[in-house]
């Protein structure tokens, strides 16, 4: 007979957002269990990362805004990123219309900030969060397991889970943090709207002739946006995210390295000179998803399990971290008041905070994507004039960038106080 283990919260997925949520809840002393499909041991994962050559970068990176960095500081992970790993703070962002003359320059100096954000490899963010787990006896990480079944809520909202290794768990709250194809969302029956963006994202690491100058460069091409994101190190390594049509993406993947470097330099209008080297390329189909509801009794969705957006502004992980911070606030407040965290009325406080904000960001990204789609010459001229006008309207430009940096608008309670 299989024994059922009860915990307060089960988080499916020990990626960046799931780990952040677990660590945010750790000081409560409650029993938190994380489920991770990746097999192995945390110590082995961290040792393998430490053994990688310094010039070997992860092709998947995140542009962390100041609000996300503040959360990582509170969780103790940011100090680990800086001391043991690497991050590249960027002070400028230069965006231009590749089909016209429109340009916008965002500067940290104009906002009196040290940086606009940091480009950090995803595996480094995850490793820094994993380092913090050892300091919390109430956090349990189960690796090499996946969610097989999820019960409907009991009368008190509790859920039962069956894992791929046969183990059974019960929890007051199950949080789906298991990515865009969330098994938790599927098993719960929570519906989501999704559509294909008609873009694939080609990602890789490159070496350029000129130094990146701690600047993010983004050109809107006829096929889609191309971003060059600065990486820590010698100043000549950058991560690229080239969103383009599936047919063009396949053509780029078929090129040899030399031809690809030439094509990339041309597409970026040689903003960093010649592209002298490239790492292995990866292709990621892009789809938009948004759950109709983030919560029901005994269940909540965070991060990509609840929403995915186009990567053109690099906001995906930042939205996920804000989800984690907001849900942690709601859970801790409920515990302090003696409320049941499985109660859907409690969980809707989280949904009210985050769903509208995430929908607004999703709509903004969709608007940008459509704005820079192929247009007749008169529309391109108006678009270009609009970009140049916005570049001169500092108050408007600063308002927009402060929202993207997570420094304006409604913020989770824990991020309203200095770290």
Three-point CA angle 376, 98, 270, nearest 5°: 155
Spatial contact of 122 and 71, defined as CB atoms under 8 Å apart: no
Q: DSSP secondary-structure letter at 51? A: T
What's residue 396's pLDDT? 65
362 CB-near residues (< 8 Å, 6+ apart): 288, 290, 307, 309
Q: How far apart are CA 278 and CA 76, in angstroms?
A: 34
| Axis crossing angle, helix 122-133 with helix 16-25, rounded to the nearest 10 | 30
| Element holding 118 (H helix, E strand) | strand 117-121
Q: How far apart are CA 312 and CA 225, in angstroms?
A: 6
Q: How far apart are CA 30 and CA 25, in angstroms?
A: 8
Spatial contact of 74 and 419, defined as CB atoms under 8 Å apart: yes
What's residue 92's pLDDT? 95
Nearest to 252 by CA among 270, 219, 278: 278
What's residue 148's pLDDT? 97
Query: What pLDDT tens digit does each residue of the chain (419 aa) get?
Result: 457 899 999 999 999 999 999 999 999 999 999 999 999 999 999 999 999 998 899 999 999 999 999 999 999 999 999 999 999 999 999 988 866 678 888 889 888 889 999 999 999 999 999 999 989 999 999 999 999 999 999 999 999 999 999 999 999 999 999 999 999 999 999 999 988 878 899 999 999 999 999 999 999 887 888 999 999 999 999 999 999 999 999 999 999 999 999 999 999 999 999 999 999 999 999 888 999 999 999 999 999 999 998 776 567 899 999 999 999 999 999 999 999 999 999 999 999 999 988 887 776 666 555 555 655 556 566 666 766 666 666 776 776 767 667 766 678 989 886 65
Q: Given the structure tokens 């927009």, which residue do they identify?
A: 400
Residue 241 tokens, joined = 């995210």
Residue 258 tokens, joined = 């030399």
Longest dimension (CA), the chain: 72
Strand partners, 32: 9, 139
Domains and CATH numbers, the chain: 4-88+119-194+288-404 (3.50.50.60)
Q: DSSP secondary-structure letter at 9? A: E
Q: How far apart are CA 394 and CA 396, in angstroms?
A: 6
Q: Mapping DSSP to helix (H, G, I), strand (E, B) and coil, where does residue 166 land?
A: coil
Residue 264 burial by Cβ neighbours in a 10 Å radius (0-12, 13-18, 19+): buried
316: left (phi over 0), alpha (psi -120 to 50) or beta: alpha
Length reported for the chain: 419
Spatial contact of 309 and 291, defined as CB atoms under 8 Å apart: no
What's residue 1's pLDDT? 44
| Element holding 148 (H helix, E strand) | strand 147-150
Distances (CA, A) of 415 to 118, 260, 353, 409, 419: 18, 42, 13, 12, 8
Distance, C-alpha 165 to centroid of its chain:
29
Q: Given the structure tokens 């059922």, which residue do they identify?
A: 4
Strand partners, 295: 300
What's residue 111's pLDDT? 84
First-to-last alpha carbon distance for the chain, in angstroms, is 48
In order, the DSSP letters of 178-222 are S-TT-HHHHHHT--EEEEEEEEEEEEEEEEESS--TTEEEEEE-S
CA atoms within 13 A on the CB side of 226: 23
């Amino acid at each position: 007979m299989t024994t059922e283990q009860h915990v307060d919260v089960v988080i499916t997925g020990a990626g960046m957002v799931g780990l952040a949520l677990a660590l945010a809840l750790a000081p409560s002393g409650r029993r938190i269990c994380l489920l991770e499909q990746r097999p192995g041991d945390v110590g082995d994962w961290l040792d393998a990362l430490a053994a990688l050559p310094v010039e070997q970068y992860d092709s998947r990176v995140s542009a962390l805004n100041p609000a996300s960095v503040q959360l990582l500081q509170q969780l103790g992970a940011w100090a680990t990123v800086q001391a043991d790993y690497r991050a590249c703070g960027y002070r400028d962002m230069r965006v231009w219309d590749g089909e016209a003359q429109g340009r916008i320059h965002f500067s940290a100096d104009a906002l009196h900030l040290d940086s606009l954000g940091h480009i950090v490899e995803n595996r480094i963010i995850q490793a820094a969060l994993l380092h913090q787990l050892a300091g919390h006896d109430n956090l349990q990480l189960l690796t090499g397991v996946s969610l097989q079944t999820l019960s409907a809520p009991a009368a008190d909202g509790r859920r039962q889970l069956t894992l791929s290794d046969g183990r059974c768990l019960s929890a007051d709250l199950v949080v789906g943090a298991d990515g865009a194809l969330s098994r938790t969302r599927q098993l719960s029956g929570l519906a989501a709207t999704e559509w294909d963006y008609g873009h694939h994202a080609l990602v890789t690491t490159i070496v350029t002739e000129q130094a990146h100058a701690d600047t993010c460069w983004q050109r809107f091409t006829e096929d889609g946006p191309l971003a060059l994101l600065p990486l820590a190190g010698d100043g000549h390594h950058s991560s690229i995210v080239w969103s383009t049509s599936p047919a063009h993406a396949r053509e780029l993947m078929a090129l040899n390295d030399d031809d690809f470097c030439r094509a990339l330099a041309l597409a970026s209008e040689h903003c960093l000179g010649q592209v002298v080297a490239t790492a292995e390329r990866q292709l990621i189909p892009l789809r938009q998803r948004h759950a109709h509801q983030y919560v029901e009794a005994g269940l909540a969705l965070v991060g990509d399990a609840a929403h995915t957006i186009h990567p053109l502004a690099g906001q995906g992980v930042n939205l996920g971290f804000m989800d984690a911070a907001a849900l942690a606030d709601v859970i801790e407040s409920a515990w302090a008041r003696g409320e049941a965290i499985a109660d859907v009325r409690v969980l809707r406080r989280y949904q009210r905070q985050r769903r509208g904000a995430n929908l607004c960001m999703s709509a903004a990204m969709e608007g940008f994507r459509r704005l820079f789609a192929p247009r007749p010459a008169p529309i391109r001229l108006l678009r270009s004039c609009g970009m140049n006008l916005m570049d001169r309207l500092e108050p408007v430009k600063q308002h927009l960038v402060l929202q993207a940096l997570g420094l304006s608008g409604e913020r989770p309670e824990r991020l309203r106080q200095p770290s």
